[in-house]
């Protein structure tokens, strides 16, 4: 079996854009006619250029090879152009290609990918969602703790037992910083209002995006501790695991991080520093499914759990489901609400969601199929990136 053909899709995610402005998908096909799909997460270049990058790497290192030879492909791409170093762009490209190869491998074996990576551990996967805005909101749910508390009741009625929120303010190219007293107060009021609203029915996941210095994060954590969040997410920028470890040692709140890290090498530094209790690798960036499995195994040694990150499309979501299902140290899965709207339309069959849990598919490969007609009918025509940071210092 040899890989022969590639097709990329740059798909605009219609309003309300939950999961990002667009998704970048890839389809690989073998000489026997078997196809697999993958997705790259948040590569920091114009998405049509990202598609060209994926096609270029395919032509150099993947075309003509057996999709089963994951390790061989991985090392050649990882070392491309005399790099051999964790790189967000190249690893996002590799993740999409590797994911598509696993989809093909599973289809050839007529097994879900999780059956080929140790087998099924979890029959249901506990899921959480961000607290999102609704059409007609007269206030901003990201900045109004009363509206967020009101919205939390809707999510509990859908079966969710964990909710994430991020009231700490914008994240900037100039972070980390000390949050203002106003921002600290708002964060504390959010935690208080939500805890009063959900009681013991749901965990609270406090999301940040590397806005703070270690000292600033410790100040915030002390305010949040009375409300017992399940985690404090990426409190400092991802480039200094030793600084994140200072936060982890200073608070009783578990630190979670990893969406901006890639490969086992980045995560090994995080684990050695004792910087996190929960790893949030994104399978569209980290280096693919097998790399995520290796990271999960490394974490298992230190009794560190995994909570695969998702703020992109449902193909990465399907890969997250595969790795969560076969990992003993799985904690919780990020969901875009209940996988409705465009996340359902872009797939031929939706991801199965029941009472706050994702039910792993028994279909072969990733368990999902891209609806190519929908993908082609929704091209991304903008020029912004998947996510954008504030480009000036936040006072």
Q: How far is Cα 253 from Cα 305, in angstroms, rounded to an integer?
A: 14
- Render the burial of 235-266: b for 16+ CB within 10 Å, e for the rest: bbbbebbebbbbbbebbebbbbbbbbbbbbeb
In order of their start, the domains of the chain are 3-110 (3.30.390.10), 115-366 (3.20.20.120)
The tens place of each residue's pLDDT in the chain, 395 residues long, gives: 999 999 999 999 999 999 999 999 999 999 999 999 999 999 999 999 999 999 999 999 999 999 999 999 999 999 999 999 999 999 999 999 999 999 999 999 999 999 999 999 999 999 999 999 999 999 999 999 999 999 999 999 999 999 999 999 999 999 999 999 999 999 999 999 999 999 999 999 999 999 999 999 999 999 999 999 999 999 999 999 999 999 999 999 999 999 999 999 999 999 999 999 999 999 999 999 999 999 999 999 999 999 999 999 999 999 999 999 999 999 999 999 999 999 999 999 999 999 999 999 999 999 999 999 999 999 999 999 999 999 999 97
pTM of the model: 0.97
Q: Which residues on adjacent β-strands are paired with residue 7?
A: 27
DSSP H helices in the chain: 47-57, 70-78, 88-109, 145-157, 181-198, 214-224, 241-250, 263-273, 289-301, 314-325, 342-345, 372-377
- For the record, the structure tokens of 151 come out as 């919205």
User: Catalytic residue positions?
Assistant: 209, 309
């Amino acid at each position: 079996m040899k890989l022969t053909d590639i097709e990329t899709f740059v798909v605009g995610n219609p309003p309300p854009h939950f999961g990002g402005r667009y998704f970048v998908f890839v389809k690989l096909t073998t000489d026997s006619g078997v196809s697999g799909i993958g997705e790259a997460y948040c590569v920091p270049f114009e998405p049509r250029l990202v598609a060209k990058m994926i096609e270029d790497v395919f032509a150099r290192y993947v075309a003509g090879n057996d999709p089963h030879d994951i390790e061989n492909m991985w090392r050649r791409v990882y070392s491309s152009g005399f790099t051999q170093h964790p790189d967000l762009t190249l690893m996002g490209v590799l993740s999409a290609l590797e994911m598509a190869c696993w989809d093909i491998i599973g289809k050839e074996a007529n097994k879900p990918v999780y059956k080929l990576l140790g087998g099924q551990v979890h029959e249901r996967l506990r899921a959480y969602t961000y607290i999102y805005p609704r059409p007609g909101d007269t206030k901003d749910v990201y900045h109004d703790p009363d509206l967020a508390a009101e919205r939390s009741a809707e999510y509990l009625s859908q079966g969710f037992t964990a909710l994430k929120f991020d009231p700490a303010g914008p994240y900037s190219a100039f972070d980390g910083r000390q949050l203002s007293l106003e921002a600290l107060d708002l964060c504390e009021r959010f935690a208080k209002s939500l805890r009063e609203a959900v009681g013991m029915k749901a965990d609270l996941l406090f999301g940040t995006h590397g806005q703070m210095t270690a000292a600033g994060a410790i100040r915030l954590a002390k305010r949040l501790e009375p409300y017992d969040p399940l985690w404090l997410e990426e409190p400092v920028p991802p480039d200094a695991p030793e600084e994140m470890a200072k936060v982890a040692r200073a608070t009783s709140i578990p630190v979670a991080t990893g969406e901006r890290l890639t490969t086992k090498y980045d995560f090994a530094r995080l684990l050695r520093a004792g910087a996190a209790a929960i790893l949030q690798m994104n399978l569209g960036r980290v280096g693919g499914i097998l790399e995520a499995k290796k990271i999960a195994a490394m974490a298992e040694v230190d009794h560190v759990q995994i909570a695969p990150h998702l703020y992109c499309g449902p193909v990465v979501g399907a890969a997250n489901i595969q790795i969560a299902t076969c990992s003993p140290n799985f904690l919780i899965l990020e969901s875009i609400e209940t996988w409705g709207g465009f996340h359902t339309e872009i797939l031929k069959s939706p991801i199965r969601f029941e009472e706050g849990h994702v039910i792993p598919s028994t279909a072969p490969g990733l368990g999902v199929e891209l609806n190519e007609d929908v993908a082609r009918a929704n091209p991304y025509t903008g020029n912004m990136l998947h996510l954008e940071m504030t480009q000036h210092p936040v006072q």
